[in-house]
Structure 1
Amino acid sequence: MAITDDVIQQAEARMAAARDHAHAVAARYDRRTRRVIVRLHSGLELAIPPHLVEGLDDATPDALAEIEVSPSGLGLHWPQLDTDLYVPALLEGQFGSKQWMARQLGAAGGRSRSQAKSHASRANGAKGGRPRKVQA
């Protein structure tokens, strides 16, 4: 594909539109609070626990401390972890891929306790409960 003046102008227009949205100007890892601190262009600072973000949950403090902010401010990158985070998605509460987020939600749902789950468990227990696992 040839790069023309028109293509460059379109790319610049997309970049200008993206700048109107929230973007990061700095990011760091605070070892004392164990949080990733992201400062947005508006002055707002977000403190994010790493265990909530895909790819950061088992990272060492040294790996978390090395954060790169993309030139557009729309991305954060941890080179040691080969992990990226899209800032607009972060602001919408998306801390990873759809598959990873679904897995987190499913795990939370499995741990939940409700009256319906309790009744279903009792009813299943009255029928003899779960079949025992057989040794292979």
Structure 2
Amino acid sequence: MEISEHEFEQAQTRTAEIRQAGHAVAARYDRKHGRVVVRLHNGVELAVPVGLVERLAGAAPDDLADIEVTPAGLGLHWPKLDADVYVPALMQGVFGSRRWMAAQLGASGGRATSKAKADAARANGRKGGRPSRSASA
């Protein structure tokens, strides 16, 4: 696939604009707290628990400790995991695919407790509880 000089220049301009918003200059794995700490060009540090990041959740600490920052500073790469994370997405709170993010949100909602949720569960129990699943043919 060939790209024109104009398309190449546009891509370089977009990359420069994205980098201005924030790019990584260093990254490390914080074993004690189980998180990736990314230092941005402006001195800001972003700490993200690895369990929230789709490609990193459940990975071994030794694999997480080996992090590379891409030359443009817009990506992080874990060679042992063959995993990549886009730094601007981390800054926006996007830790994986839409499906991954929806599953994380659903799981946290399911674990939530409140008086209203307890009252609803009690009321449902008085009605006989959750209906049993019928076998579909």
Change (3 A) 1:15 1:128: closer
2:76 — aligned with what?
Answer: 76
For structure 2, list consecutive stretches of 5 or more residues without a partner in the other structure: none
| Per-residue CA distance 1:22-58 (angstroms, 9 max, x = gap) | 0101111133443212110001112222112112121
**1:101, distance to aligned residue in structure 2 (A):** 0.7
Percent identity, aligned pairs only, is 61
Q: How many residues align?
A: 134
What RMSD over aligned residues (CA atoms) do the two structures have, in Å? Answer: 2.0
Shift of 1:104: 0.5
Q: Aligned residue for 1:26? A: 26
| TM-score, length of structure 1 as denominator length | 0.85
Alpha-carbon separation, structure 1, partners of 2:116 and 2:100: 27
Query: What do residues 75-95 of structure 1 show as CA deviations (whole Å, max 9, x unaligned)?
Result: 111122122211111111111
1:42 counterpart = 2:25: no
Structure 1's 88 and 133: CA in aligned 2 closer, same or farther, altered over 3 A?
Answer: same
Map 1:58-97; keep pairs closer than 5 Å. Answer: 58-97=58-97
State the distance in 1 between where 2:52 and 2:66 align: 18
Q: Which runs of 5 or more residues in structure 1 are unaligned? A: none
User: How do 1:103-122 residues align onto structure 2 when only pairs under 5 Å count?
Assistant: 103-122=103-122
